[in-house]
Chains A and B, each alone.
Chain A
Amino acid sequence: MRSWMRLILNLEFWILNPESMIMIALVDYGMGNLRSVEKALQRVGGKVRAVRDAGGVAAAQRLVLPGVGAFGDCMKNLAAQGLVESIRDFVRSGRPFLGICLGYQLLFEESEETAGCAGLGLLPGNVIRFPAGLPLKVPQIGWNNLRFRRPDCPLLRGVPDGSHVYFVHSYFPCPAEASDVCTETDYGMPFASMVWRGRMFACQFHPEKSQDVGLKMLENFVQL
């Protein structure tokens, strides 16, 4: 189906079912805690609902994909709940999407964490681990700063270049398309800490744990 047709169908769905419209859908696929993300989005004016099936994703105006745990387990759970195709459809429809932490990594083709497991494949590139040869503590845990590559990104509105955000991760994506990289962060080497393509946004850090800076980004997302 062409994306404009899908969009019209979706619009029709919203108009005919105003009650079923979800301002922000938070994908709940059994991988832990949604509470922090939910509370942070509410703090900045979002009306949030957890969704567990394809119907919920389709009815969303905006979609947030959080995630903790392992790459393979997450993909398995998404598949078991019939969410893989609906998330792909959602992103292709051009509605605002935000992936956080593992929800960012899942957008890519595959990850070193779970060999042979395909990701959502919405962005070209792979997810790798911080190399063993570097004198680094892994996971990276703590506050590191952003270097803006695309300061025009709507999520960065009102956020100063160089701001610190909170990271907890051992793996990170390497986008194959340089223009997808929105911010970079240095940990032993520079890596893509945030990507942006169209209305698809995703970050390795946790905006919901990054105090005022993170809340500002979430507010920008809610107001898209």
Chain B
Amino acid sequence: MLTKRIIPCLDVTNGRVVKGTKFLELRDAGDPVACAEEYNRQGADELVFLDITASSDNRRTMVDVVERTADCCFMPVTVGGGIRSTGDFRIMLNAGADKVSVNTAAIFHPGLIKEAAIRFGSQCVVVAIDAKRVPGADGRWEVYTHGGRKPANLDAVEWAKKIESLGGGEILLTSMDADGTKAGYDIELTRAVSEAVRIPVIASGGAGELAHLCRVLDEGKADAVLAASIFHFGQYKVADVKRHLQAQGIPVRL
């Protein structure tokens, strides 16, 4: 049986983890590769690196992080942030990334999804959606670009369907309303998107406690959960999360 994936996410800028992790066992908790190794040891199912500045100067540093991670962690790695062309896909895949996540560029140039899917296969094309609930409207979410700063005039569910039709292999769905609140994922949004497409959906934004992950996988119909702070600050180990989910009847790899 296919298990639900637990995916720690590391925000990186200039080759350093933003805000840092609080792994007591690591000598340098700001080193993304050291953090990746720790999550590998903990049995995380995948890892996501997000380049949050994504300037061209940063690109070389990020490639180096991905290369060094691929040398020591034998697990799937996704990298995102500032991906604009199939050339960027090529650079990250050659560095050792298994999947590449694209966001703003795909909205301005949806053909990028199709081109990347044809050249590298759908399986490595992740499209990130940053969605915000439309006030007053029942069950409608708008897509935002540029790290959540600009509205894109796109309905999140419609955009998800378009992504699938263009050959995107997976959706990384972040609720901007829930992100950073630690009050739980947006279950309704996740479910609406997950039920609208036949490609896997990774839920992101809002994880604060174990019950949140459980709910979004169960009621939200997510195929995987992304979480940052609950892991970084040592609140929970990956195995704690999995044991909890298993006890609730959710299939996980232990």
Contact = CB atoms under 8 A, between A and B. Distances in A.
A36 B198 contact: no
B74 A138 contact: no
Contacts of A4: none
Contacts of B2: 140, 142-144, 167, 187
Contact of B1 (A40, A145, A211): A145
Interface string A45-70: 00000000000000000000000111
Given A137-B200, A141-B223, A142-B3, A36 B253 contact: no
Nearest to B67: A35
A60 to B, nearest CB: 23
A136 B74 contact: no
A77 interface: no
A40 B170 CA distance: 25
Contact of A39 (B3, B43, B71, B121): B71
Nearest to B123: A168
Contacts of A36: 70, 74, 96, 98
B248 to A, nearest CB: 18
B124 A68 contact: yes
Interface in A145-197: 145, 164, 166-170, 186-187
B170 A209 contact: no
B93 A32 contact: yes
B198 A142 contact: no
Interface in A26-44: 32-33, 35-36, 39-40, 43
Interface in B113-141: 118-124
A168 B199 contact: no
Q: Is the interface of B mostly helix, strand, loop or mixed?
A: loop
A206 B76 CA distance: 9
Given A43-B74, A69-B119, A137-B223, A142 B96 contact: no
B250 to A, nearest CB: 13
B59 interface: no
B212 to A, nearest CB: 20
Contacts of B121: 68-70
A139 interface: yes
Nearest to B40: A211
A40 B120 CA distance: 21
A142 B119 contact: no
A211 B137 CA distance: 45
A215 interface: yes
B120 A69 contact: yes
Contacts of B223: 137, 141-142
A143 B253 contact: yes
A140 B5 CA distance: 12
Contacts of A40: 74
A139 B123 contact: yes
A169 B74 contact: no
Contact of A139 (B75, B118, B199): B199
The interface centre, meaning the residue of B5, B98, B120, B169 with most chain A CB atoms within 10 A of its CB, is B98
Given A43-B74, A211-B40, A211-B43, A186 B122 contact: no
Interface string B1-44: 11111000000000000000000000000000000000010010
Contacts of B253: 143, 164
A156 B3 CA distance: 21
Interface string B210-254: 000000000000011000000000000000000000000000010
B186 interface: no
B109 to A, nearest CB: 22
A167 B74 CA distance: 13
18 contacts: A36-B74, A40-B74, A43-B74, A136-B198, A139-B200, A141-B223, A144-B3, A164-B3, A166-B75, A170-B122, A186-B1, A187-B2, A206-B76, A208-B74, A209-B76, A211-B74, A211-B75, A214-B74
A-B complex: 7 closest residue pairs judged by Cβ atoms: A164-B253, A168-B123, A143-B253, A137-B200, A144-B2, A35-B96, A143-B3
Interface of B: 1-5, 40, 43, 45, 67, 70-71, 74-76, 93-98, 118-124, 169-170, 198-200, 223-224, 253
Given A33-B96, A36-B96, 10 more contacts: A35-B96, A39-B74, A39-B96, A137-B199, A141-B5, A142-B45, A143-B2, A164-B253, A169-B123, A186-B1
Interface of A: 32-33, 35-36, 39-40, 43, 68-70, 136-145, 164, 166-170, 186-187, 206, 208-211, 214-215
